Structure 1
Amino acid sequence: MNVVAFARAKQGTGASRRLRNSGRTPGIIYGGAAEPQLVEVDHNTLWYALKKEAFHASVLEMDLDGAKSQVLLRNVQYHPFKQLVLHVDFQRVDANTVLTMKVPVHYSGAEESPAVKIDKCMVTPVVTEIEVRCMPKDLPEFISVDLSKLEKGATLHLNDVVLPKGVTLVSHSNAAVISVAAPAGGAADEEAPAAE
C-alpha cells in the first residue's frame, strides 16, 4: 500500500491546528539511520486507508516529496468524538533488520467443525492479533487459522497456530486463542420433549 506525504516545516499546537483545518494530518517518520522527520498527509486519504486492515499490518511504500521509502504505521491519535485523525507516526523499515509487529488473525472453518456442527458448541476468538518477529519481506498481512477440525472440549493455543515461513512468535506464553463453550443445558433441553 502507498502513502503520499509531504515534508512539514512548522511544528507546535497552532501550526498543527492550522494544518488540520486545511485538510492535512501532521505526522512524523522516525527510525533507521536518518533523523526523525516531520511530515503531513492528506487527512481524507489517510482516514480511508486506516479503515483497511492491511494498512495497519503491512510494510507501506511512502512517497515523501518524490523520495520512496518503506515504513510501518506505528501509532495513530484520533479525536475523542470527531471523525478526525490528530497525528500519525511511521517507522522506517530497513530491509535487513528484523522487525516486531502485531498481525491480525483470521479464523475460518468454525461452522464446519465437529464442535459446532455436531455438538452445537459456541466458538469464540480470544485473540484477534498475534505479535510476531520477522524480516520485512516475510511480514504477513494476516495469519489464517483453520478451525474446521475443532472438536468439543478442544483448546487451540498460540503454539498450535501455523505461522508462515520466516515468521516467529514473540510471546513466550502459550495462551489460548479460541474458546469452545458447550451449549448451556443442551442435553436436558433435548430430553424434555421426549418425556412429555
Structure 2
Amino acid sequence: MSNSIVLNERSSQQSGSQIRELRTSGRIPATVYGKDIGSVSVMVEEKSFLATIKENPRAILMADIPTKGKKPVTIQHIQKDPITRKILHIDFHQLNMNVAMDTKVTIHFSGEPIGVYEGGVMQVELYEVDVRCMPDDLLSAFEVDITKIGIGEHLLVSDLEFHKGVEVLTDPTAVVIKVSPAIEAELEDESAVATPVVPEVDKPTA
C-alpha cells in the first residue's frame, strides 16, 4: 500500500457551474465514504490521480485528507462522460485494515501457449477473478504461465495457485483460457455471430 494521494475537501453544496469550473481547472470532484468519517466531499488533481492508478486501478491508496488525516481507501466507482470518457466523479471507500474485503484480481498471462505454435487458437474466457482477502494480502495482479497449454487443453480457475490468505470466489470449474483447434474455434465464432437473439413474447390469454 505504497500509493498515496491528496484529497482536498470541498463544499458539498457546490453548484453545477462550480463543479464544471473545478473540472476545467484539472481537478476531479469526489466523495469519500467510511464508517469513521461518514461522507466527505473532496477533490483530487486529475493528473496525479491518473498517474497513481495507472498500474493498478484496484490498489489500496493512502488518502491524505487534511482535516481527517490519512485513511486507506479503494476506488468504489468512477463516473465518466459517455462520449469523451473523461472522468466526472469518483467515489472512494474507506477500508478497515482488520476486515477481509471482496475484490477482483486481474490475470496477467505470461508467454505463448505451445498449442498456438502447433496451429491452435488461444481463447481467453476470464481476465479477472473474484477474491476475498485481508487488505494487506491484496494482489495487484496474478501472473499465470500459459506456455504449456496444448491444443485441446485448458486452464481452470481451480488451477490458479494463489498465496495463502487469498480465497478465490469465482467458480473453480470456470475456464480461464483454452487452446482450441483452428477449425473448432472458427465454428464457435460463426455460431456466436449466426445465432439470432429471439425476444420472448407473452402468449395471449384466452
Structure 2, unpaired ranges of 5+ = 185-206
User: Equivalences for 1:81-120 in 2 at 5 Å?
Assistant: 81-82=83-84, 84-109=86-111, 111=112, 113-117=113-117, 119-120=118-119
Show the counterpart of 1:170.
169
Displacement, 1:43?
1.9
Q: Structure 1's 173 and 11: CA in aligned 2 closer, same or farther, altered over 3 A?
A: farther
User: Equivalences for 1:32-47 in 2 at 5 Å?
Assistant: 32-47=35-50
Counterpart of 2:126 in 1: which secondary structure?
A: coil
Matched letter for residue 95 of structure 1: M
**TM-score normalized with structure 2 length:** 0.79
Percent of pairs with identical residues:
31
Counterpart of 1:163 in 2: which secondary structure?
A: coil
Say whether the 8 Å CA contact 2:79–2:87 is kept in structure 1: yes
Say whether the 8 Å CA contact 2:116–2:179 is kept in structure 1: no
Aligned counterparts of 1:183 and 1:13: Cα–Cα separation in 2: 58
Q: Structure 1's 13 and 153: CA in aligned 2 closer, same or farther, altered over 3 A?
A: farther
Matched letter for residue 115 of structure 2: A
Counterpart of 2:35 in 1: which secondary structure?
A: coil
Counterpart of 1:97 in 2: which secondary structure?
A: coil
Displacement, 1:178?
0.9
Displacement, 1:12?
4.9
Aligned counterparts of 1:173 and 1:85: Cα–Cα separation in 2: 35
Structure 1, unpaired ranges of 5+ = 186-196
Q: What's the Cα RMSD here?
A: 2.0
Counterpart of 2:182 in 1: which secondary structure?
A: coil
Aligned counterparts of 1:74 and 1:145: Cα–Cα separation in 2: 27
Aligned counterparts of 1:69 and 1:159: Cα–Cα separation in 2: 35
**TM-score normalized with structure 1 length:** 0.83
Displacement, 1:179?
2.8
Displacement, 1:130?
1.1
Show the counterpart of 2:21.
18
User: Equivalences for 1:1-196 in 2 at 5 Å?
Assistant: 1-14=3-16, 15-50=18-53, 52-54=54-56, 56-65=57-66, 67-82=69-84, 84-109=86-111, 111=112, 113-117=113-117, 119-172=118-171, 174-184=173-183
Aligned counterparts of 2:13 and 2:100: Cα–Cα separation in 1: 32
Displacement, 1:133?
0.5
Matched letter for residue 10 of structure 1: S
Counterpart of 2:96 in 1: which secondary structure?
A: coil
Say whether the 8 Å CA contact 1:140–1:164 is kept in structure 2: no
Aligned counterparts of 1:3 and 1:16: Cα–Cα separation in 2: 20
Counterpart of 1:47 in 2: which secondary structure?
A: helix
Displacement, 1:182?
1.3
Count of residue pairs the alignment pairs up: 180
Aligned counterparts of 1:61 and 1:40: Cα–Cα separation in 2: 15
Say whether the 8 Å CA contact 1:57–1:104 is kept in structure 2: no
Q: Structure 1's 176 and 147: CA in aligned 2 closer, same or farther, altered over 3 A?
A: same
Matched letter for residue 157 of structure 2: L
Runs of 4+ with deviation above 6 angstroms:
none
